[in-house]
Every structure is written in structure tokens, then in C-alpha cells.
């Protein structure tokens, strides 16, 4: 049994809503719901940050994030994984990304969620420009898409015993 697909964009200019992701992924066979929310913080590498602007290649993002969701479901054998990311200007405390995973048990839900978030950060064509209190800004140095993403060892496999 699979929740009904919802019509949504993985890249959104409006404030992100968690509720539609939860409703769309509800399943009676999943006892674990793992959610990651990434919020804008007011500092980076020792410097105060006033706000951010995210830009994204939306069409390519949609394709790459869909692939990350599918990989996550297959690799960790979790039935549901959804990821959305916001673009535009975000203030301190605003949510930039939600990732939702549902699984029968918590062990695979935690592992899958971390893989989904790390893979999105490393592979989705999204750029973060930080703005500082003096009005200056800079793009955050990130990960080269061209290098590919090799997940760290702890994300490659599940714990041997999945507890309930």
C-alpha cells in the first residue's frame, strides 16, 4: 500500500509546509517517521549572518532530488522519502529544507534520512549566498557536482540489527 502521489514542486519559493508531506506519506505499515528540517542560522564560520538567498536550477534539481529519493527508498528499503527545498530570500530561523522518511522501524528511518539530506546537499544544484550585517555577501563554498558523491561508510549500509 502506497500513499497517493501529490502534485508538488521539490523547489519552492514560498515558505515550506510540512503538513502536506506528512499527509502524502502516511502508511499503516510504518512505525517510524523521521523528519529533518534545516533552518537558517545567524552565523557561519565565525561571521554573523543576516539572511540568505538560495538560487536553484529548478528543472535539474527536481530530477536529481527525485533520484535521491528513489535511491534512498531502494538502498535503505524504506517505503517513503520526500525532500523539498526553498529558494529566494530566507531570514534567520526560516526553514530551507524538509526531508521526510517513513519506515517500519527507526533504525532504517534514521539512516535513510541522513543519506537523503547529505545527498541532496552534495548533489542538488542549489547555491547559498550569505549576507552579512554590513551589507556585503558571498557564496558559500560547496561541493563539486562534477566529483560525484561517495557516501561515507556509515551511510552505505544499515545496522545489522534493526530494532523496533
Give me the residues that bind other proteins (CB under 8 A), please: 38, 54-57, 59-60, 62-63, 85, 96-97, 117, 120-129, 139-146
Cβ of residue 27: shortest distance to other proteins, in angstroms?
A: 26
* Beta carbon nearer to other proteins, 30 or 98: 98
Beta strands at 11-12 and 80-86: parallel, antiparallel or unpaired: parallel
* Beta carbon nearer to other proteins, 144 or 160: 144
Cβ of residue 128: shortest distance to other proteins, in angstroms?
A: 4
57 DSSP 8-state letter: -
Cβ of residue 163: shortest distance to other proteins, in angstroms?
A: 28
User: 44-77 in b/e burial notation, b at 16+ Cβ within 10 A?
Assistant: eeeeebebbebebebeebeebbeebbebbbebbe
State whether the Cα torsion 114-69-37-77 is positive or negative.
Answer: negative
Cβ of residue 37: shortest distance to other proteins, in angstroms?
A: 11
SS3 135: coil
* Beta carbon nearer to other proteins, 38 or 104: 38
* Beta carbon nearer to other proteins, 60 or 158: 60
* Beta carbon nearer to other proteins, 76 or 98: 98
Cβ of residue 147: shortest distance to other proteins, in angstroms?
A: 9
Burial of residue 108, with CB atoms counted within 10 A of its CB: 0-12 exposed, 13-18 middle, 19 or more buried: buried
Amino acid at each position: 500500500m502506497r500513499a497517493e502521489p501529490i502534485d508538488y514542486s521539490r523547489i519552492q519559493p514560498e515558505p515550506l509546509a510540512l503538513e502536506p508531506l506528512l499527509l502524502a506519506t502516511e502508511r499503516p505499515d510504518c512505525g517510524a517517521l523521521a523528519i529533518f528540517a534545516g533552518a537558517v542560522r545567524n552565523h557561519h564560520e565565525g561571521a554573523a549572518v543576516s539572511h540568505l538567498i538560495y538560487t536553484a536550477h529548478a528543472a535539474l534539481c527536481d530530477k536529481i532530488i527525485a533520484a535521491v529519493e528513489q535511491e534512498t527508498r531502494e538502498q535503505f528499503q524504506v517505503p517513503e522519502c520526500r525532500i523539498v527545498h526553498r529558494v529566494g530570500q530566507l531570514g534567520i530561523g526560516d526553514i530551507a529544507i524538509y526531508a521526510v522518511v517513513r519506515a517500519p522501524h527507526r533504525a532504517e528511518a534514521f539512516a535513510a534520512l541522513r543519506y537523503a539530506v547529505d545527498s541532496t546537499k552534495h548533489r542538488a544544484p542549489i547555491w547559498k549566498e550569505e549576507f552579512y550585517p554590513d551589507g556585503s555577501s558571498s557564496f558559500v563554498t560547496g561541493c563539486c557536482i562534477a566529483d560525484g558523491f561517495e557516501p561515507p561508510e556509515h551511510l552505505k549500509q544499515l545496522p545489522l540489527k534493526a530494532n523496533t
